[in-house]
Copies of this chain bind each other. A is one copy, B any other.
Amino acid sequence: MSRPISIRDLEATLAIKDAGSWMHDLATQLYPICRSITGNGVRETLRRVDARVALSTIEVPSGTEVLDWTVPREWNVRDAYIKNANGEKLVDFQRSNLHLVSYSTPFKGRLSFEELRPHLFTIPDWPDWIPYRTSYYAENWGFCLSHNDLKRFAEDETYEVAVDTSLCDGSLTYGEVTVPGGTSDEVLVSCHLCHPSLCNDNLSGIALATLLAAYLKHRQTRLSYRFLFIPGTIGSVTWLHKNRDRLANIKYGLVITGVGDAGKLTYKRSRRGKTEIDRAVEHVLHHRATPSQVVDFSPYGYDERQYCSPGFNLPVGRISRTPHGEYPQYHTSADNLDFISAEALRGSLEAVLQVTEVLEKDCRYLNQAPFGEPQLGRRGLYGAVGGNATQPANQMALLWVLNLSDGEHSLLDIAERSGLSFPVVRDAAQALQEKGLLAEVSLGRGAGP
């Protein structure tokens, strides 16, 4: 049996000192790039990921019909600003790419404050922060600024506005990496890369997925893994459209996003709610030393909305820390490099690796001596002097695995029922298998009911 998939093994395999710092460093490199759902910022981001995991970059032309949607025109920004009468730039895209509403249409002109005001977005409750706003599917332009900066505008002044963007036929770009395994059963790992300088919301997921892909490429795995680096919504819609004939292979999936903040790990169940991925993540979180939570599926959120739409209904859940919208920094300039930490990223990765280990190793065994307990003592699996009051966990695991290995229960089932952690149960099964007391059941794997 191969060595366990784990964060220490990852660090050893990739010769990385600290996986958390590695991910934070990658986020730092990607931070300044102006991403949107299309455009050169996406391509530049993918180039940086490609350097680490050798991904495929797919370009889908504007106007392509994808499910109920149409790939939009490609959007790029050269510059954008608002100048006052003195020629002073009160808002300047060069200082922060958040200042421009994403997908702002080109505009150049002089406007009174009254005319300009509907195009300005602030957060009065957090007067230092710049909000993040988009207008993908309604043609418009706008600027986001801190509420404090809004005070520098005067009601009776006239402003020079420049939105030097292009919105033209081009393409939507996304990245894909596959790690082939021993079977065609696939784990889908999806993260979005359509947000500009926002760290928890997009960069944390990209960094974790990149490092996970880099690691699994060095391992032999039972399952195949497919990593998607895609713009939110339109990206998953496009991918699903182009890959309908492959979806039957997807037995498990995770949307990974918002995994760098200090909050507790949160798992959002798939629409089906009790599939293997749901149970694996719940089990792993339950046994971690730090607090975590599990929430039911709802049709709002990230790309799990598309994967879990009723026509596809894939077994895809989402792993995050504090859920989007539940922290004030969400979709503001405060979701910056200080808001995410190497430590939080490392903990998130560790949990995902523990889940991967469950998916890789879960299986069903058949007890080869199911009538009564087999005599463990003569096989060297049991303490010699009897009569003690308690049994250590690894001895209990032997008994549990034997008792429940009737072909109906997987190792994860046994871990759940016994209250023992998956690794302890897995090790017991391995020891019993080595003594010929267990035989793996060939069928019966799968994504659950």
Q: Which of A308, A312, A384 has the most CB of B within 10 A?
A: A384
Q: Is A120 located at the chain interface by the 8 A CB criterion?
A: no
Q: Which residues of chain B come closer than 8 Å to A142, judged between CB atoms?
A: 385
Query: Contact mask A236-254 → B, CB, 8 Å, 1/0?
Result: 1100110010000000000
Q: Is the CB of B403 within 8 A of A68?
A: no
Q: Is the CB of A372 within 8 A of B67?
A: yes
A269 → chain B closest CB, angstroms: 12
Q: Is A133 located at the chain interface by the 8 A CB criterion?
A: yes
Query: Contact mask A81-124 → B, CB, 8 Å, 1/0?
Result: 00000000000000000000100000000000000000001000
Q: Is the CB of A373 within 8 A of B330?
A: no
Interface residues of A in 387-408 (CB under 8 A from B): 387-391, 396, 399-400, 402-406
A250 → chain B closest CB, angstroms: 14
Q: Is A153 located at the chain interface by the 8 A CB criterion?
A: no
| Minimum CB distance partner of A366 in chain B | B310
A114 → chain B closest CB, angstroms: 19
Q: With A136-B386, A396-B300 known to touch, is A305 a contact of B371 (CB < 8 Å)? A: no
Q: Is the CB of A309 within 8 A of B131?
A: no
One of A220-228, A279-287, A351-359, A374-382 at the interface: A374-382
Q: Which residues of chain B come closer than 8 Å to A306, judged between CB atoms?
A: 372-373
Q: Indicate the size class of the contact surface on chain A.
A: 35 or more
A399 → chain B closest CB, angstroms: 4
Q: Which residues of chain B come closer than 8 Å to A389, judged between CB atoms?
A: 324-325, 330-331
Q: Is A370 located at the chain interface by the 8 A CB criterion?
A: yes
Q: Is A166 located at the chain interface by the 8 A CB criterion?
A: no
Cβ-defined partner of A387 (8 Å) among B133, B312, B372: B133
A12 → chain B closest CB, angstroms: 36
Q: Is the CB of B330 within 8 A of A134?
A: no
Q: Is A339 located at the chain interface by the 8 A CB criterion?
A: no
Cβ-defined partner of A372 (8 Å) among B312, B388, B405, B418: B312
Q: Is A58 located at the chain interface by the 8 A CB criterion?
A: no
| Minimum CB distance partner of A326 in chain B | B389
A282 to B305, CA, bound (A): 29
Q: Is the CB of B375 within 8 A of A137?
A: yes
Q: Is the CB of B67 within 8 A of A378?
A: no
Q: Is A1 located at the chain interface by the 8 A CB criterion?
A: no
A154 → chain B closest CB, angstroms: 25
Q: Is A140 located at the chain interface by the 8 A CB criterion?
A: yes
Q: With A67-B372, A367-B310, A375-B137 known to touch, is A299 a contact of B403 (CB < 8 Å)? A: yes
Counting from the closest, the 4 A-B pairs by CB-CB distance are: A311-B370, A311-B371, A325-B389, A299-B399
Instruction: Return 20 A-B CB contacts under 8 Å, by A number.
Output: A68-B372, A68-B373, A68-B375, A121-B385, A131-B387, A134-B386, A134-B387, A137-B377, A137-B378, A137-B384, A138-B385, A140-B384, A142-B385, A240-B371, A308-B403, A309-B370, A309-B403, A310-B402, A325-B390, A331-B389
Chain A residues with CB under 8 Å of chain B are: 67-69, 101, 121, 131-138, 140, 142, 233, 236-237, 240-241, 244, 271, 298-300, 305-306, 308-313, 324-325, 330-331, 367, 369-375, 377-378, 384-391, 396, 399-400, 402-406, 418
